[in-house]
Structure formats: C-alpha cells, structure tokens
Amino acid sequence: LFTIGEFSMITHLSVKTLRYYHDEGILKPDYVDADTGYRYYREASVDKAALISMLRSIDFSINEIKEILKSCTDDIDITVFFEQQQDKIRAKIDKYVRMESIIKEMLKTIRENNMKYKDNYTVEIKDIDDIIFAGNRFKGEYKNVGNSFKLAGRAAGRFIAGKAMSLYYDREYREKDADIEAGFPVSKTISSENINCRVLKGGKFVTLIHRGPYGNLSRSYEKIFGFINGNKLNAGSPSREVYLKGPGILFRGNQDKYLTEIQIPVE
C-alpha cells in the first residue's frame, strides 16, 4: 500500500488532486484508516490513475470521466465518447483559429494605417498621379463631414485603396455652407446612390503635412498659402486634405499625432 504522498509521486497527480478525485468518487483510495483518516492506495490503482490522467489530458471533465468509468468496461465502449470529444476539440481549434485570423487582420490594418511619415513637414511641390475617387459632396459645416465618409465608406467597401480624403471647392474659408466632398480613393469605378465616382486628375500640387488636431489646420493653410504667394504661383481648386493618420479604428488616439496632408493644385 502507498501513502497518498507516494502515490502522488508515482502518478504525477498532486495530493490535492488525489483528495479531490476521492471526494468526487472517481479514484477512491483502497483503504482509509478509520482513526487518522489517512488514505492508502494499491499498486493496481496506478492504472486507473493513469487512465484518469489521460482522459483529463484530452479535456474530459470530471463529470464526463464519471460517466465513462460508469458505462465503459471495454476499450471499444469509449470510442463514442472519444468521437464526441474529437468534435468538441475540433470546434475549439476552429474557434481559436478564427480568433488568430481576426487578430492578424487587425494587426495588419493597424500597421498599414500607421505607416510612419518621417518627413520634416515642410512645404513641397509634388506631381500627383490620377486616382479614381468615390466621394459624397455636401454643403454645410465641416463637422458634418463624418456622415459623408460613412456613406462613401459603405459604398466603396473593400475597393478602398487609400487614405480618406476630402475636397474643398471653395477658394476661401467658410464657416457655414462650405462646399465639401468626402470619400476614398478606390481600386475600380463603383456606382452608388449619392456617390460620385470618377478619375481625379493629378498634376502639380503644393503640399504640406499638418501635424496635430484639425482645429489647428488654419496655421498650416497660412503657411502653404504664404509659400504659394511668395513663389507667385496660382492656387487652383479643389484643394484636398488627405487624412494620413486620424482617429484609429479602436482608439481615438492622441490628436497631437494626427497627420493631415494639405494638397493645393497649382499651374
């Protein structure tokens, strides 16, 4: 006969676990001293302990093990339990595989949205290519731009091929009744109600990356128009704002880190 400590060493089951299995009735000691309450186990019980360990290792619950011990006398009896368990485990694998791919996708989009712009944020003259653009145009206050992005985003869906941007058709700043179009570059022409999708002509633009909250954009506009006037260029229309980095998909983020590229067409 082995004491519980010895039996624990042999079976690699903790003493606590053995006592628990006793309470649950799935692995009773072969003898219990009436005076001291000490538990003693026979060598023959090692096999049963190994069986229980094995069943636990393939995720059977204690109650399931009770059932198995009650209803199985022959190896072949357990196959039906094994098959059910196999289904459960496959379901878990599927579940975790799906989680993994969700995380992977999220990491990918977050990283794509956070490509670093290490420039020094100075005024530049750039040649910008033609792009296909799907936008929703409205007249109103700038703060209502959110709805237009929502409409355009829903229409463009998986064809979105670049950062959100908006076009400003007014040549001057307007608090109300501003003429704004908000949308996304897309990989192919789409057609949808309220959405105007067409090629936006590229060409020569004066650009500046603005860092910080949108409320401070006017300072960057001052700077860029100062450059245009200083260099005797003619500003065209519409001007663009490309939201290189704004609020994230999970967190609003720090507004001081927002990056917005202002693009003003010139001849």
> Which residues contact a second copy by CB under 8 A?
51, 54, 57-59, 72-79, 82-83, 85-86, 89-90, 92-93, 96-97, 99-100, 102-104, 106-107, 110-111, 113-114, 248-254, 257
202 binds, options DNA, a second copy, none, Cβ within 5 to 8 A by partner type: none
Per CB under 7 A, the list member of 3, 85, 196, 216 interacting with DNA is 3
φ, ψ of residue 124 in degrees (nearest 5)? -135, 160
Tokens, residue 36: 């001291």
Burial (CB < 10 A; 0-12, 13-18, 19+), residue 17, is middle
Q: Is 220 in the site for DNA (CB under 7 A)?
A: no
Please, what is the minimum distance in Å from the beta carbon of residue 60 to DNA? 7
Neighbours of 208 (CB within 10 A): 20
61 binds, options a second copy, DNA, none, Cβ within 5 to 8 A by partner type: DNA
Which C-beta is closer to a second copy: that of 1 or that of 54?
Answer: 54
Note whether 126 and 176 are within 8 A (CB).
Answer: no
Which C-beta is closer to DNA: that of 103 or that of 115?
Answer: 103
Which C-beta is closer to DNA: that of 31 or that of 173?
Answer: 31
73 binds, options DNA, a second copy, none, Cβ within 5 to 8 A by partner type: a second copy
- Cα 258 from Cα 210, distance rounded (Å): 8
Residues near 174 by Cβ (< 8 Å), separated by ≥ 6? none
Which C-beta is closer to a second copy: that of 203 or that of 246?
Answer: 246
Burial (CB < 10 A; 0-12, 13-18, 19+), residue 137, is middle
Which C-beta is closer to a second copy: that of 91 or that of 199?
Answer: 91
> Which strand ranges, in their side-by-side order, compose the sheet holding 39-41?
2-3, 39-41, 31-32
Residues that bind DNA (CB under 7 A): 3-6, 8, 14-17, 19-20, 35-39, 56, 61-63
